[in-house]
A and B are shown apart, each in its own frame.
Chain A
Amino acid sequence: MNEAIFIGLGVFTLLCASSVVLCKSPVYSAFSLILSFFGLAGLYVMWASPFLAMIQVLVYTGAIVVLFVYVVMLINPGGGGSVYRNGIVMMTSALLVWSVCLLLLKSMTGGSQSAGGAHSVTLKMAAKLLFTRYLWPFEILSIFLIVMIVAVFALAKEPKRGKA
């Protein structure tokens, strides 16, 4: 029973996550992102950390994605193709993204004891783990996010068409 729910939620989350990338319209992308975050929150509940699930919904689904949707609706970008659709750029970026992912994976699986499992995680434990064991992955992720923001800026900027 639990396994079925877990697999169902996982598949749902991944499907929605891929639809974020695949949807042509940015509004539908944002909508998929909301659903995907919901799936993630469900997974957190399954891992016996309802606190994390609530924070996930409150912060990401309830505030950050609201701002995404807000901006998308306000500037209403067209669904046009990216100006960066060139082989070298795409290869380099794919390589970079995968290397960061590998780095994350390596630093998270380094220790001997696993933080997962079905036991409930208290707030104190989570805070302690975040500042000791997971400090390095956490910092990598934050740099990753900054890079993402810069990339989005570059992608969203209208290509220059002579003098306006």
Chain B
Amino acid sequence: MDTFSLLVTAIKTLAIYLLIIQVVPVMIYVERKIAALIQDRPGPNRVGPFGLFQPVADFIKLLMKEDPVPSNVNKFLYQLGPYLAVLPASLAIAALPLGDQFEIQGQTFLLQIADLDVGLLYIFAIGSLGIYGILFGGWASNNKFSLIGAMRSASQIVSYEIPLALGATGAVMVYGTLSLREMVFKQSGTFLGVLPNWGIFVQPLGFLIFFVSAFAETNRLPFDLPETEAELVAGFHTEYGSMSFASYFMAEYIAMTTMSAVMTTIFFGGWQIPYVSDTWLLSVVGSKNILALIQVAVFMFKVMIFMCIFVWVRWTLPRFRFDQLMKLSWGNLIPLGLINIVLTAAAIYFWDMR
């Protein structure tokens, strides 16, 4: 690889990373605004026009605060915890396909940090590591509430990783690939002549299972048992303050973004606009780079819709009890996922759904 393409790749990596990270402050604002809308109150409206600078003010506040380390904690693991939470969440961004490709000086580059053959597995594998930040942080805090929160989080994430993978397996069988980029290409055109050929129409049950599990994987309401403020003070991050707390918060939001992006990619056609083919769009706009921009915009639009659904669900549904949560995974979602796989296999065998 020559210096020029290396430089472009480096800039591309940074740009994609920053684009995804930017979702965090935007989402903090959106979350508070939607919460206010649902609870019939104005929400943040003091800092800047419509309270738009509220996330900036929050961030400065968190940055300026002292970050005390409690005296009886395991210092090494306590301070490592937030890093262990943010790092896997950030690493998972590498496999997300934001668009097809762009062109600089005759060279084409993929709009994706790394096009892995095992992209989906990579996201699952790296995503499953986020638990260590919670686990080690909660344990090192030397606090019963933190420990119980961490334990809950561990059992919850391990239980819901299975239906998450099962839900995606059906789609993988239909597309016949684990590469997220190819999955998007496989979703062009129409399904049964009317609907867009998206994963959600081909795999409705798989999507439902994946969708429910995604909430549990990201510790979001109605499954936010690790941090139930009514029982556990704040759960695994009870002892954390200032930027350490913010790191956990950030990790949760990046994980949410990644989950939304994966759902968009597997089940909602990635960067594709329904009924509009990429080749036709290219002939209209004329330039590959403008097409790439449109694709990224469409992708981010779909991701943001999912993020809003995350927030909407959070302020609408009450929290599950822990035994209900476990029952939902092991008793309902996993059998449903297995049934879905059998049905999909049968459909592929008899009608050649591919």
Q: Per-position contact with B for A56-95: 1 when CB-CB < 8 Å, else 0?
A: 0110011100110110011000000000000000000000
CB–CB B129/A50 < 8 A: no
CB–CB B118/A50 < 8 A: yes
Residues of B within 8 A of A55 (CB): 121, 125
A140 to B120 Cα, complex, angstroms:
32
Give the 8 A-B CB pairs with smallest separation, nearest first: A62-B128, A57-B125, A54-B121, A58-B125, A73-B139, A70-B154, A54-B125, A54-B118
A62 to B122 Cα, complex, angstroms:
12
Residues of B within 8 A of A73 (CB): 135, 139, 147, 150-151
Complex interface residues of chain B between 110 and 150 (CB less than 8 A to chain A): 116-118, 121-122, 124-126, 128-129, 131-132, 135-136, 139, 147, 150
Interface of B, helix, strand, loop or mixed by DSSP = helix
A66 with B121, Cβ < 8 A, contacts A57-B126, A57-B129, A73-B147 known: no
CB–CB B136/A31 < 8 A: yes
Residues of B within 8 A of A54 (CB): 118, 121-122, 124-125
Residues of B within 8 A of A74 (CB): 151
Q: Per-position contact with B for A29-66: 1 when CB-CB < 8 Å, else 0?
A: 00100100000000000000011001101100111001
Decide yes or no whether A27 CB sits under 8 A from chain B: yes
Complex interface residues of chain B between 240 and 254 (CB less than 8 A to chain A): none
Decide yes or no whether B161 CB sits under 8 A from chain A: yes
Closest chain A CB from B235 CB (angstroms)? 15
Chain B interface (Cβ within 8 Å of chain A)? 74, 77, 116-118, 121-122, 124-126, 128-129, 131-132, 135-136, 139, 147, 150-151, 154-155, 157-158, 161
Chain A interface (Cβ within 8 Å of chain B)? 27, 31, 34, 50-51, 54-55, 57-58, 61-63, 66-67, 69-70, 73-74
CB–CB B161/A63 < 8 A: yes
Closest chain A CB from B137 CB (angstroms)? 11
CB–CB B135/A69 < 8 A: yes
CB–CB B135/A66 < 8 A: yes
A63 to B155 Cα, complex, angstroms:
10
CB–CB B154/A66 < 8 A: yes
Residues of A within 8 A of B118 (CB): 50-51, 54
Closest chain A CB from B264 CB (angstroms)? 21
Q: Which residue of B lies closest to A74 (CB)?
A: B151
Residues of B within 8 A of A57 (CB): 125-126, 128-129
A57 to B127 Cα, complex, angstroms:
10
A73 to B139 Cα, complex, angstroms:
7
A14 to B147 Cα, complex, angstroms:
31
Residues of A within 8 A of B124 (CB): 54, 58, 62
A63 to B121 Cα, complex, angstroms:
14
